[in-house]
Amino acid sequence: MSVPTATDPSTRTYRTTNPATGEVVREYPPLTDADADALLIRAHAAYQTWRRTPIAERVRLFRKFIELLEANVDELAALVTTEMGKPLAQSVAEMDMVTSTFRYYADNGEKLLADVETEIAGFTRAITRREPVGVVLGIEPWNVPMYQAMRATAPNLMLGNTVLLKPSEICAGSTLFFDHLFAEAGFPANVYQTALVSTTQVSAYIADDRVRAVTLTGSDRAGSAVGEQASRHIKPVVLELGGSDAFIVLESADVEAAADTAAGLRLFLGGQFCNAPKRVIVTDAVADDFIARYVATFAANTLGDPFDPATTVGPLSSSVAADTLEAQYRDAVDKGATVLVPGGRVDGPGAFFTPAVLTDITPDMRIFSEEAFGPLGMIYRVADAAAAVKLANESAYGLGGTVFGDSNAARDVAQQLDTGMVGINNFLGAPAEIPFGGTKRSGVGRELGASGMDQFANIKTYGIS
């Protein structure tokens, strides 16, 4: 996802600023290089023991961790809302995503890590195993900070790796809470550690032989830098990057269901998630009806305090994020986009952006090719399914997509999309059971499901004669 940075990397500070008020809540002292190395020393030492911990014991600890997540959901959700601004109910939903991820690996860890036997001539049998590799470095963003951190952590801990997790500079507090929960659940010390490190210290980690793999969710610019460094040191890397997912509405679609789904998803988390359907591509035959309902959903939202139950859209994560979206919005309007719902940056404290909807978007506008990370609805009208596929695939991103229409027609369109994921007549999202990831500038590798282990495992085969 294209997440703007608040400061230059060389001066970056871990600071919690309430995006609803602009108030600085807390700052965290930077780690010295010696401090950063001490984290790695502890993670590497913990790996030597954790890798030999029986799977049944790992499962037991996962289930205890789940109990603690459920017991602390209110405090965890409040932390997230304070740090990144989404409505409290959506932060509670994020905790459910964390819990479901750990439950999936607890329920399926033994099966996922079971030996796979294969007959090979000259041997009585061959056994292939997923084995851990060591310390994994996770670099995670701010939009769903706890879920993103744990999406990287859960499969690695079940596999037997240990994790150093670098959070976003604006969401350190919510991620640090996990260090306490893992300890309370009884996990061995240092199998998971939040690392408030600088970009220079991240580079040092990647270069260190004790770090065996890297996973990053963030902008394609950050992904390019981390991917280049990991490749230089010949280390596995998973990059979950930007998205400008298409939501295609065919003439055979249930228009009301399509409009409600598309608008709701564009407003969820304030439009700040990488696999949000950002570009609606609707065929002319149903465009008028679709647009009327989509626009009504946008116009009916309540922008305000994310702790107020009546609020449906909170502030964006930071003033930088709001200013960036405002610049994209104004660029499109100035170049002739039609405004269906007026919106934009709100004057005053906080990082508020009133949700807006645009159509008649042309290639010379920034939002045609850039990822718009916020509640900005973008609608394209096309003649038919072929035109919808062509426009959808013109994006440099290929994370996911959604197609509404008759099942046969929708499947045909879905098969032509150059993406890693696609939902047919529903939004696919990121269920823990299936691989998550994209194509093109959306990144490389997959998280979740069995793939969440495979990316960070030594797939080792034993031939027994």
- Catalytically annotated residues: 240, 274
Region class of 148: left (phi > 0), else alpha (psi between -120 and 50), else beta: alpha
Q: Is residue 189 a contact partner of residue 183, using CB atoms and an 8 Å limit?
A: yes
* Distance, CA of 150 to CA of 127 (rounded, Å): 30
Number of C-beta neighbours around residue 24 at 10 A: 10
* Distance, CA of 400 to CA of 402 (rounded, Å): 7
Encode 422-452: b = buried (16+ Cβ within 10 Å), e = exposed: bbbbebbebebeebbbbbbbbbbbbbbbbbb
Encode 274-298: b = buried (16+ Cβ within 10 Å), e = exposed: bbbbbbbbbbebbbeebbebbbebb
Number of C-beta neighbours around residue 302 at 10 A: 12
Could you identify the residue written with the tokens 């009884």? 186
Assigned token pair, 244: 């400008």
Number of C-beta neighbours around residue 10 at 10 A: 8
